[in-house]
Amino acid sequence: MLKTVYTKGKKQHILGLIGLASCLATSYAQAIPENLLKQTIEAEKSVYVNTLKDLVNIESGSKDLEGVNHIAKLVAARLKESGAEVSILPTDDIYRMDDTPEQTGPVVKAVLKGKGSSKIMLIAHMDTVYLKGMLKDQPFKVEGDKAYGLGILDDKQGVAAIIHTLETLKKLNYKDYGTITVLMNSDEEISSPGSRKLITETAQNQDVILSFEGGGKDGSLRLATSGIGAAYLNIKGKSAHAGVKPEDGVNALTELSYQILQLQDLSNPKTGLKLNWTVASSGKTRNVIPDSATAQADVRALQVADFQQVEKILNEKIKVKKLSESQVNIKFEVRRPPLVASAQAKQLAEKAQTIYKDEFNLPLKIMSEATGGGTDAAFAGLNSKAAVLEGMGLSGDGAHSNNAEYIQMDTIVPRLYLATRLIIDLSTSKK
């Protein structure tokens, strides 16, 4: 069961930090000479592309321990160059789900300590959904205004963006922040079983959390994401000859069918809860009454309480059976909690929107309602009152495809500028 613990007393502090929007333009001008930030980031663009190429050329599927350890060492070395204190942390405290491997990859943690008081957290993930050996069919390449490669959008562009945001701060010799804490995990694509606890705990005392998943085709910032859960239905029956004496058996498939029928209408459009049975299996031989059957359901929710409620309902309903001699069990797991849009996140997103318009004459869409997907930003926001922005990464498309994943090259400079500028503005305003 997922429990939510709220940190008290920080809301006013965070709103105060972000609410100084009227002073931010002046603070920014005092902190960094006019146009220097843009010029520095423009010069960083080609180096960013080289970093991205290096990252893409390391195959790092979530369950490829050799690959994720390789990329973690590269990322740690690059973060260390920015002056951060860096460590590669093993993931020993693992939340076990149905598909969780025995061992998960490491987390790279980096901390920059400045002379101010702001606490800013940056997150991205190093792993991909792809299997080892697939890189040869989609190597890194640049064609026109797009760069292609396995995992380039999800989420190696985000890893590179954080590296070069810190590099930019170093080149500007900007140290007015209090701390900048970076977490890069290597199990995000399998629901972060080994890193979720560290992400949640590290985020608790932060002021702002920027998550560098891709911004989609239009570069939207997301303030809310769906929670993702799963239900696993397991039926035990008794086998018998289907043609000679079926009455001696207990048909697990019959019981499974009955259970799915009574568990299929639990979705609630009013609250955003969605429960859909998607996978089922039973029997191997036509003339044998099946003695086992299984089914899986995908569950989405916008509030933690909805997960708790649907788990309770599932456990109550399976007590009613079609076949009294069957055994019916259900397991429910929370793969990701929901991220709920907060007032402080909305204020920070509006600041980002203003920066995009004033500096690049570009629109920046803000999505305050969840659309079905879930990310590590939800773990970061679970017990924290920080302003959480998701989608700080570059624009692109084709995530999780093996022939079309790309980023849009013209979003490199605006996105690096936005991340760096937000850090500077927030830190300078809190001096």
Query: Which regions of 186-271 does DSSP assign to beta strands (E)?
Result: 208-211, 221-222, 227-236
Query: Is position 34 annotated as part of the catalytic site?
Result: no
Do the Cβ atoms of 279 and 347 come closer than 8 Å? no
The one catalytic residue among 59, 64, 127, 187: 127
Distances in Å between the alpha carbon of 76 and those of 44, 69, 70, 137, 389? 19, 10, 10, 28, 24
Q: Which of 103, 87, 105, 301 is nearest to 202 (CA)?
A: 87
Neighbours of 33 (CB within 10 A): 10
Burial degree of 182 (CB within 10 A; 0-12, 13-18, 19+): buried
**Strand 208-211 versus strand 119-125 pairing type:** parallel
Both tokens of 67, joined, read 């690959």
Rounded distance, CA 187 to CA 194, Å?
A: 7
Distances in Å between the alpha carbon of 338 and those of 15, 207, 251, 382, 401? 22, 19, 38, 8, 25
Do the Cβ atoms of 370 and 224 come closer than 8 Å? yes
* C-alpha of 9 from chain center: 27
Rounded distance, CA 58 to CA 132, Å?
A: 10
Sheet holding 274-282, edge to edge: 274-282, 292-301, 227-236, 327-336
**226: Cβ contacts below 8 Å, ≥ 6 apart:** 272, 300, 301, 302, 336, 338, 370, 371, 372, 373, 374
The one catalytic residue among 59, 154, 187, 188: 188
Query: Is position 176 annotated as part of the catalytic site?
Result: no
Do the Cβ atoms of 330 and 234 come closer than 8 Å? yes
**258: Cβ contacts below 8 Å, ≥ 6 apart:** 321, 322, 323
Residues 232, 238, 244, CA angle at the centre, nearest 5°?
Answer: 135
**261: Cβ contacts below 8 Å, ≥ 6 apart:** none
Neighbours of 265 (CB within 10 A): 8
**Which residues are catalytic, by number?**
127, 188
